[in-house]
Amino acid sequence: MSASADQTVGDEAARRLVADLVEIPSPTGDERECAERLVAFFEEHGREAWLDEVGNVRAPGDDSVLLTSHIDTVPGDVPVRVEDGELWGRGSVDAKGPLAAMAAAAVETGVSFVGVVGEETDSRGARHLVEDRAEPDAVVNGEPSGSDGVTLGYRGFLAGGYAASTDSVHTSRPDSNAVQEAMAWWSRVESALADSTAAGAEGDGDDAETPVFERVTAKPVEFSGGTAPDGLSVEASVEVQFRIPPGETADGIRETVETELESGSVAWKEPIPPVMETPRSEVARAFRAAIRRVGGDPRLLRKTGTSDMNLYAGAWDCPMATYGPGDSELDHAPNEHLDLGEFDRAVAVLKRVSETLQE
């Protein structure tokens, strides 16, 4: 059956959906069972839905707005329970709360919905989506912002891997080995990027500190090294990640990093650009009005991380924002839990936003 807006999803049914989704484990790469529960929810409410070739849940409808969030979670066993009006469990905040709220709002208003896979790793679901479907009139991406918060900006993301190898020599020799060269390279990279940030902040006053959102953040996430199995060389590798603020580019960061190479090489992965949406767009205005209608005080947010909205903004020239219930401080945490009253308010906000954008 095609999309329609004559279906009602009450608070109880929406809460049951989010509890079911949290109950079903869906770490990246193992999203299918959870995705099938979403498909069944749409079919139960008279909406056509299916899994596409990469595993995304597709429920096409009115493209005045596309509601989309991710199905996958990071690993981790957080026992699922409802306690004092809170739903505990892995993914309750990131991002099955936003996902279920969007599904409920999409059924009630008839707008388009997609649940994507792979957001926590390579964003393969979002990458496939922008190649496979036409641009909607607007996008609301689902991530925790709190029921009163609307996220308009994210930093971009660049990952790479450094590798170096040196001949094996006796450790009494003063010659640097690959492990030392990797450590020295990373120290130079951190210093160069810190100097770059400081230079960009000149003129703001001696005591001014550049906000994290406006800085390049450099992080080594894995370091390994030692004598090779054949005993003839010492090898070292470092997996690194950089967060890219608006105004910076992946090419600029790559150039800075590679300038600091005295040995070894860096292999880069495909970058994700930063995004900063205007607070004056019709999507942002619709959220401010909807949040006030349910008694909230709207907050406009900039996140220091990265989301699928970055990819949508890079591919589609339409207004967008990110929204969803939940405290983002609980993302990936061992005490991840969602306030169900906040979840109810988020469903109401998403319904009002969708209705406004349909006008």
Q: Is the N-terminal amide bond of 95 cis, ω within 30° of 0? A: yes
Q: Considering the domain boundaries, does residue 120 fall inside one?
A: yes
pLDDT digits (tens, 9 = 90+) for 228-240: 999 999 999 999 9
Distance CA 341, CA 14 (A): 12
pLDDT given for residue 206 in this prediction: 44
Same domain, 40 and 96: yes
Kindly give the residue spans of alpha helices, DSSP state H, lying in 161-260: 178-200, 250-259
Examine the domain organization and report whether 18 and 149 are in the same domain: yes
Q: Enter the pTM of the model.
A: 0.90
105 lies in the same domain as 176: no
Q: Which of 98, 55, 90 is nearest to 73 (CA)?
A: 90
Task: Name the residue among 90, 93, 72, 73 with its Cα closest to residue 81.
Answer: 90
Sign of the Cα torsion 119, 121, 124, 126 reads: positive
Q: What was the pLDDT predicted at 6?
A: 55
- In a domain? residue 5: no
**Tokens linked to 328:** 């983002």
Report the pLDDT value the prediction gives residue 199, as an integer from 0 to 100: 62
- Distance between CA atoms of 25 and 33, rounded to whole angstroms? 8
The predicted structure's pLDDT at residue 200: 57
The low-confidence residues of the chain, meaning pLDDT below 50, are 1-2, 203, 205-207
What is the reported pLDDT for 202?
Answer: 52
| Residue pair 99/73 in contact by the 8 Å Cβ criterion | no
Contacting residues for 280 by C-beta, under 8 A, at least 6 apart: none
Q: Which residues contact 43 (CB under 8 A, 6 or more apart)?
A: 49
Q: Is 336 a catalytic residue?
A: no
Establish whether 119 is a catalytic residue. yes
Q: What is the 3-state secondary structure (H, E, C) of 9-59?
A: CCHHHHHHHHHHHHHCCCECCCCHHHHHHHHHHHHHCCCCCEECCCCCEEE
- Do the domain assignments include residue 197? yes
Q: ∠295-13-330 over CA atoms, to 5°? A: 60
Measured CA to CA, the distance from residue 22 to residue 26 in angstroms comes to 8
Shared domain check, 217 and 339:
no
The CATH number of the domain holding residue 169 is 3.30.70.360
Range of 195's domain? Answer: 156-268
Query: What does the alpha-carbon distance between residue 136 and residue 149 come to, in Å, rounded to a whole number?
Result: 23
Q: Which of 253, 268, 283 is the last residue of a domain?
A: 268
Residues 228 and 252 in one domain: yes
According to DSSP, the residues that pair with 165 across neighbouring strands are 235
Residues in CB range of 202: below 8 A, 6 or more apart: none
Catalytic position from the list 31, 72, 143, 339: 72
Query: Is the C-alpha dihedral spanning 9, 12, 18, 20 positive or negative?
Result: negative
Instruction: Out of 31, 108, 119, 143, pick the active-site residue.
Output: 119
**CA pair distance 215, 328, nearest whole angstrom:** 20
- Considering the domain boundaries, does residue 257 fall inside one? yes
295-338 confidence digits (pLDDT tens): 999 999 999 999 999 999 999 999 999 999 999 999 999 999 99
CA distances (Å), 283 to each of 95, 110, 293, 314, in order?
A: 20, 17, 15, 17
- My answer on whether 192 and 279 are in the same domain is no
What CATH number is associated with residue 18?
3.40.630.10
